[in-house]
Amino acid sequence: MSARQTLGQKIRALRKAKGLTQQQLAEPHFTKSFISQIEKDSAKPSLKSLQIMAERLGKPVSYFLEDPTPTTTPQIPEKVFHLITLAQKLEENKLPQDAHQYYQEALELVATESTHLRCRILTYIARTAAAMENYQLALDQYLRAMDGFASVCDRHSAAKAGIEAGLLYYTQGHLDKAIELLSKANDMLEPTEGDTGFWSVFAQLHLGLIHRQRQEPAKALESLQRAWETCLQYKTFVRYGQVVTEIGLLYRDEGDLDRALSFLSKAAAFYQGIDNQQEEARCQILSVDISIRLGAVEGMESQLRDALNTLQFWVYPQETYLGHLLLAEIAANHRNFTEALELMETAREFAQGPEQTLQAGVRVGKYLRLAGKTADSLTVLQGLEGDENSTQTSKQLQAELYSELADTYTALGQDETAAEYLRKSLELYRSITP
């Protein structure tokens, strides 16, 4: 078997095979210097950049993120080589079921003693099985490949198969197994391999996501910080934006708003640099939210509007909700209650779950009251009170609902009812105040 090619070597070989100069490959998205640095492995392209180059070079992105395909291993029997090549083309054309069948045929033709090749094909079978949503088969094949690679002392390939299996455990909700396997596989990666940075970041990022899902913020932050450091160490930036965004969100949730803003600003700048306008807009909205919490209100409205004008609402419902909520608050602070109401109604369309649904409804009721539509406000608030989903929300939100009902009944001149709701609100506030 020939030595593994680095990412830069793969790009250089394909560029030359296509008869392209570095300048021709670079235009119109990159500079010649950037392509030169990538080919020397002194720089790593983002996933978006890699997708652009892969399309120009006629290869799927996966080709650049894994070991060389059988074209670098002339010892492979001709029929096996033909089947694998055909299967890969079928994968590129989004036909995983057909590709899966050809990979299976190729595996049956490989001698038992050809462990490394058999394990490589097992990873292809696993990949197509996952694409077919046959996750148990995919998991079984990745684990078989991991054990097989380890048996021939290829720890690095074993590690990558293990990371893939760990991600499947994660997507299937087996979080303990995912943590165990991702941690083990990450430790097995060979530091000198060209793709170690990518796979290590991938493993540590998902360890962070799992710990965050399990409400283990300290462990989540530790994993994500390691992922960030690995990005910088190996100059691999395929997942950099996601890593620093997740770190920022963790700091936000823990109340460290200054650090949260710092990391979310890094993420926004990174996405701006690779022209990912959607993620940049998302990070801008998250950053504005924190800036407002820190008391920096000036200039935030224009940033929010710019971000929302870019954002695809149904792709990013959480940030769409947050952006309109913040704009509504700004409008209300300017006593423009009609605009605040319109913005809040839009936010309400994107509310996710009982918490946001109640929060949005209370704000709508409030802005109706402030706009002089007190009867309409009462109708909205009473509807929220009678909704059983409202009882599944935090005491803080329920207290806000009762407080707003008290204000609305006061505006209607029904002081006794207002006093009763105020009492309910105060009882809830006292129960959550240390």
- For 207, the token pair is 């360890």
pLDDT at 68: 46
355 lies in some domain: yes
Calpha distance 198→232 (Å, rounded): 11
pLDDT at 46: 66
180 lies in some domain: no
* Domain of residue 383, residue span: 351-434
Calpha distance 237→366 (Å, rounded): 45
Calpha distance 192→65 (Å, rounded): 15
Distance of CA 235 to the CA centre of its chain: 20
* DSSP-derived secondary structure letter, 238: S
Give the end-to-end CA distance of the chain in Å, rounded to a whole number: 66
Share of the chain above pLDDT 70, in %: 94
pLDDT digits (tens, 9 = 90+) for 171-213: 999 999 999 999 999 999 998 887 888 899 999 999 999 999 9
Q: What CATH code is carried by the domain that includes residue 428?
A: 1.25.40.10
pLDDT at 74: 41
34 lies in some domain: no
The structure tokens 């095979």 sit at 17
Calpha distance 347→62 (Å, rounded): 38
The stretch 108-137 carries a mean pLDDT of 93
pLDDT at 47: 62
364 lies in some domain: yes
Q: What SS3 class is residue 295?
A: coil
DSSP 307-353: HHHHS-TTTSHHHHHHHHHHHHHHHHHTT-HHHHHHHHHHHHHT--H
Contact call for residues 294 and 258 (beta carbons, < 8 A): yes
The stretch 424-428 carries a mean pLDDT of 94
Q: Above 90 in pLDDT, residue 77?
A: no
Cβ contacts of residue 137 below 8 Å, gap of 6+?
125, 126, 129
The structure tokens 């990518």 sit at 198
pLDDT at 69: 44
pLDDT band at 73 (very low <50, low <70, confident <90, very high): very low
- Residue 28 carries which side chain, given as an amino acid letter? P
pLDDT band at 263 (very low <50, low <70, confident <90, very high): very high
What pTM does this model have? 0.77
pLDDT at 65: 62
424 lies in some domain: yes
384 lies in some domain: yes
Number of structural domains (the chain) is 1
pLDDT at 2: 39
Contact call for residues 142 and 161 (beta carbons, < 8 A): yes
Calpha distance 158→379 (Å, rounded): 62
pLDDT band at 48 (very low <50, low <70, confident <90, very high): low
The stretch 143-165 carries a mean pLDDT of 94
The structure tokens 């899966």 sit at 100
- For 310, the token pair is 């870019």
Calpha distance 58→61 (Å, rounded): 10
259 lies in some domain: no
The structure tokens 């204000």 sit at 407
138 lies in some domain: no
